[in-house]
Amino acid sequence: MSRRPSDGIIASQRPGGWLSRHWRASMKPLEMTHGPFVSRGRTLARGGRVRDLWFSPGLAGAEVVDRETFRVTLRFRTLEVDEWQQVRKALLSKLSSIAALMEGSVPRSLLSQLDEEGLRLLPSWRRTWGRGASLIRDVDADCDCDNAWRLPCAHAAAVYAVLADALDGDPFLLLTLRGRSRPQLLNELRVAWGDKQPLRRDDDEAEEEPPPTGNWYSSPQPLGQIPYSFADAETATAGLRALGPPPGGETDLHRALVPLYEAGARHALELVHDDPTVPPMTPTPAPIRRIKAPSPEKRFAEKLVDLLDALVSAKTNTLAEKLGVAPAAVRRELLELENAGLVTRKGRTRGTLWSVG
């Protein structure tokens, strides 16, 4: 494992406030299907492996330093227009709630009131069965690790765990993740209260300078040559990785599409650098990086998981016979997949049945 970053955020191991406790508890339903990933995520968060945490309405992201550095983005379901009207109505019914909001906190009574009305601000998770994965109701995630198709992976769980401490420091972040920043919501409350005049500061009264005259579509001074560089993407097959394995166990289709994506990415860079409409500006093309083909071990693991998913459950000897390999090799791979949380087994004798998830 790589060294912990010096600017890593160390998640607190203390119980925290009521909001962070409820936030952490919202992942409980996933522990049955994603237990190893959730546990690993907490370990990464407590070990200071999360860095560069950022937020915007409906989004949160960070870098997680594990064996290498992974970029994670969490996408939260933003509230609909009628749901925000419900939130504003609840706030306007209590002046104390607005006062707390102006101080940057979210009253606990507000969440309780909205829960009773059927609107839950805290994210919720729902498990559904299908190819060993879970369908997420309020939260989705992107990660460039190998387990991204089985979200939430350990890195997404680590960022989610760090957000609990961020909520203790700024409870209003909960509403930001649901789609409204603090200035946006306060402005909506002000308008709903009846103040429809735009906010102005004292320095806004100063007379503005007139716009410049002349041709706005040409520069008064000639522009020098500007060097540019188009770097290749981290991976040319990001779309395929986000979609995950194709349904029906069609692994050959996935392998056939990978070189097509790579060729398309290379051709796009060639078009940029050879486009005759682009004036010569001393281009500095970035070298095209070849994406390594998956190792034979990785292909074997994919075949094994796909076969096990198609059979629902099977013994080691059955899997070995269908794959045409020795049972010992199948058992070693199954044990590694079990440690990664991708397969489970029932029983520990010769009658052991393996299944995905």
Provide the pLDDT confidence category of residue 64 given band limits of 50, 70 and 90: very high
Burial class of residue 224 (count of CB atoms within 10 Å of its CB; 0-12, 13-18, 19+): exposed
DSSP 127-196: ---STT----SSEEEEE-STTGGGSS-HHHHHHHHHHHHHHHH-TTHHHHHTT--HHHHHHHHHHHHT--
Confidence of residue 306 (pLDDT cuts 50, 70, 90): confident
Range in 77-81, 95-99, 134-138, 213-217 the model is least confident about = 134-138
- Determine the average pLDDT of the residues in 231-251: 61
Bridge partner list, 139: 76
Q: Rounded distance, CA 342 to CA 151, Å?
A: 11
User: What span, in angstroms and rounded, lies between the C-alpha atoms of 249 and 134?
Assistant: 18
Is the pLDDT at 193 greater than 50? The verdict is yes
Checking DSSP bridges between strand 139-143 and strand 69-76, what pairing results, if any? Answer: antiparallel
Average pLDDT, the chain: 76
- Angle at the Cα of 294 from the Cα atoms of 70 and 239, rounded to 5 degrees: 55
Distance CA 143, CA 84 (A): 30
Whole-model pTM over 0.85: no
What distance in Å separates the CA atoms of residue 77 and residue 128, rounded to the nearest whole number? 18
CATH topology of domain 296-356: Arc Repressor Mutant, subunit A (1.10.10)
List, for residues 162-182, the tens digit of each pLDDT value: 998 888 888 889 999 999 888
82 pLDDT band, cuts 50/70/90, is very high
Domain boundaries, the chain: 18-193, 296-356
